Amino acid sequence: MKIEDNIETFNSLIKRSGWIWGPSPEIYGGLAGFYSYGPAGMALKNNILSIFRKELRSFGFGEVECPTVMPEIVWEASGHLERFIDPILKCKKCGSVYRADKFLKDKLPDMMIDGLSFEKMEQLIKENNLMCPECESDFGKIEEYNLMLKTKVGTDSTAFLRPETATTTYLLFNRLDQVMRRQYPLKVFQFGKAYRNEISPRQGVLRMRSFDQFELQLFISKEQEMNFDEFEDVKESKLPLLDWRLQEKNIDIPKLTSLEEAIDNKILKKPAYAYCLYIGYYLIKKLGYPENVVRFRQHSPNERAHYADDAWDLEVETEQYGWVEICGIHDRTDYDLRRHGEHSGQNFEIAMGSDPKNKEIPQILEIAYGIDRIIYTLLETNFNVEDGRINMELNTFLAPNTVAVFPLVRNKEEITNLAKKINSELQDNLISSFYDESGSIGKRYRRQDELGTPFCITIDYDSLEDQEVTIRDRDSMEQDRVPISEITNIIQERLIKSKL
C-alpha cells in the first residue's frame, strides 16, 4: 500500500485504525448521518472531555445532564418548533426542492417575507407566476420540513429529541439558582447527544443527525455583562478575530486583537461576552491545534440564530472541508428564560445584585462545542506523513495510548515477562499503557505512530542486566535509556506537562 501525504491516506486511516466508522449500521448498508466511534476515537473523545472537565472546574463551572427527549411544550417555548420547521417548495415535475422563504426573498426582494404563513407564501407564488427555475414547471403546495426528530412518549404524547443540549440546561434554571446559591453568574455545562434531521447530511462526521454537544452556559445580569470582574484577568489576551465588517470587505484573514481593544473598537459590545470568547478559545488551545488553523468568525446579523444577539464561530481550517465551525458562542439575551418563564408560568425574575428589589430575568451567554467536529479537525490537522511514516501528532494527554510497551523479541521469556510487568505497573498508575509483541519492533513503532502514541518503551537484553529500558519519542524518534524504576515518574511528568 502506498503511503502518501494525502487525504485518501487520512480517510482510510480513520477507518483502519478504529477512529471513526460509518455510516452506521455498516453491515446493513448504513443510514446517512450516523457514525460510530472505534476504540481509538472513543479514547480520544474521553481524553478531550476529561481535559475540558478539569479546566471548567477551575473556571467555576458545574456539570449537569438532562434527558435527550423533551415534550412538545419545551420546543414550543424555546422557539425551535416554529423556527426549526422549514417551508419547503417542491417542483411537481422535476422534484427540485427549495426553501420557500429564501426562494421568495430572492425572487421578490422588495417584499417582506419573514413571518408569512404558508398560505400567504403560496398566494405570492401564484400571483407572481413563479416557476421552478430548473424546468419552468409549477410548484406543488408548500410542505413543512421539521429539523427536529419527532417521537411518541407513552401512547399519545408527542415529544422531540433535543436539537441542542442548551435548552435542556435552561429548564433547570430555578434548581441551579438555588443550588449555586445565587452566586451570579451561574456557570453550568452539559455534554451529551443532540439530534437534527438534516435534509441531506454530508461531510461525514461534520454534519451528523446524531451528534455530541458540549455546551457551556452563563446566567448573568445585564449589569454584570457590562461590568464583569473576570474580564479584567483576560482582557489582554489576543484572539484571532474576523468580525463581519471585515468579511463584508472580503477579508478572510483574522486580526489578532486583544479583548480590550475589541471592546474599545466596538467589535464586541459586552465584556462578559468577550470573556466567553476567551474561554471558548482557551479550551480549544489546550487541545493542541497547529498554529494559524484557528480563527473566530462573527456571524453577520442575518446569519444569526433566532435567539442570538451576537454570535461568533470558532473555526478550524481543514484540507478536506475548508473552514469548519467547531464552537459557536452566542449572546442569547434573556430570550430563553423569558420564553420558558412565560410558557411554564414560572417567575424567573431574580435579584442578582445587592438590591433585593431589583429583579430581572438573567441573560444567557452560551459557548457551544461540537465534540465530533473537534475530533475530526484535531485528527486531520494533526495527521502527518514523513518519509512514508504516518504520524498522528496528537497532544500527549489526548493520545488513546499514552505509552506502548514492547519486548524487543518475543521468544525470550525473561524479556516478555519484564515487559508485561512494566506494562501493568504503568496501568496500575492510571497511565494508558498498551502491550504489543507481535511483528517486528519497527512495525510496532509504526502502529503506535498511527494512533498518536507519544512514547514507546522497549525492553531488550541489556534491560535484564542493567534494569534500564529505552523510551522512544514519537515525533523525533529519538531514544533515551532510563532506569525501569523511573518510568512511571517520567511518563506522569510528561503527561502533566502536556496538560499545562
Q: Residues 153 to 192: which contact RNA by CB under 7 A?
A: 163-164
Q: State which H helix or E strand residue 135 sits in.
A: none
* Sole binder of RNA in the list 338, 446, 494, 499 (CB under 7 A): 446
* Sole binder of RNA in the list 264, 424, 461, 486 (CB under 7 A): 461
The SS3 assignment for 227 reads coil
Q: What is the largest CA-CA distance in the chain?
A: 93
The DSSP 8-state label assigned to residue 301 in this structure reads G
Identify whether the C-beta of residue 146 lies closer than 8 Å to the C-beta of residue 198. Answer: no
* Sole binder of RNA in the list 411, 413, 465, 485 (CB under 7 A): 411
CA-based nearest residue to 37, from 213, 198, 205: 205
* Sole binder of RNA in the list 57, 150, 389, 421 (CB under 7 A): 389
* Sole binder of RNA in the list 20, 284, 390, 398 (CB under 7 A): 390
98 binds RNA per the rule CB under 7 A = yes
* Sole binder of RNA in the list 197, 258, 384, 479 (CB under 7 A): 479
Nearer to RNA, 155 or 200 (CB): 200
Footprint of RNA on residues 29-48 (CB under 7 A)?
Answer: 29-33
- d(CA 151, CA 157) in angstroms, rounded, equals 9
Identify whether the C-beta of residue 490 lies closer than 8 Å to the C-beta of residue 468. Answer: no
Nearer to RNA, 31 or 42 (CB): 31
- d(CA 208, CA 83) in angstroms, rounded, equals 20
Residue with cell 435552561: 170
Identify whether the C-beta of residue 268 lies closer than 8 Å to the C-beta of residue 296. Answer: no
CB atoms under 10 Å from CB of 85, counted, come to 13
Identify whether the C-beta of residue 293 lies closer than 8 Å to the C-beta of residue 316. Answer: yes
CA-based nearest residue to 160, from 145, 144, 147: 147
Footprint of RNA on residues 13-32 (CB under 7 A)?
Answer: 15-16, 23, 29-32
109 binds RNA per the rule CB under 7 A = no
* Sole binder of RNA in the list 111, 199, 251, 256 (CB under 7 A): 199
**φ, ψ for residue 15 (rounded to 5)?**
-80, -50
Nearer to RNA, 49 or 147 (CB): 147
Q: Taking the complex as a whole, how short is the minimal distance between the CB of residue 441 and RNA, in angstroms?
A: 4
The SS3 assignment for 84 reads coil
Footprint of RNA on residues 349-388 (CB under 7 A)?
Answer: 368, 370, 388
412 binds RNA per the rule CB under 7 A = yes
* Sole binder of RNA in the list 171, 460, 487, 498 (CB under 7 A): 460
- d(CA 42, CA 215) in angstroms, rounded, equals 19
Identify whether the C-beta of residue 317 lies closer than 8 Å to the C-beta of residue 274. Answer: no
* Total binding residues toward RNA, as defined by CB under 7 A: 72
* Sole binder of RNA in the list 175, 202, 343, 359 (CB under 7 A): 202
**What is the per-residue binding string for RNA in 125-154, x denoting contact by CB under 7 A?**
---------x------------x-------
CA-based nearest residue to 77, from 160, 145, 147: 160
- d(CA 381, CA 289) in angstroms, rounded, equals 7
- Among 117-125, 234-242, 424-432, 468-476, the segment contacting RNA (CB under 7 A): 468-476
117 binds RNA per the rule CB under 7 A = no
92 binds RNA per the rule CB under 7 A = no
Nearer to RNA, 43 or 405 (CB): 405
Footprint of RNA on residues 51-90 (CB under 7 A)?
Answer: 80, 83-84, 86
For residue 66, the one-letter residue type is: C
200 binds RNA per the rule CB under 7 A = yes
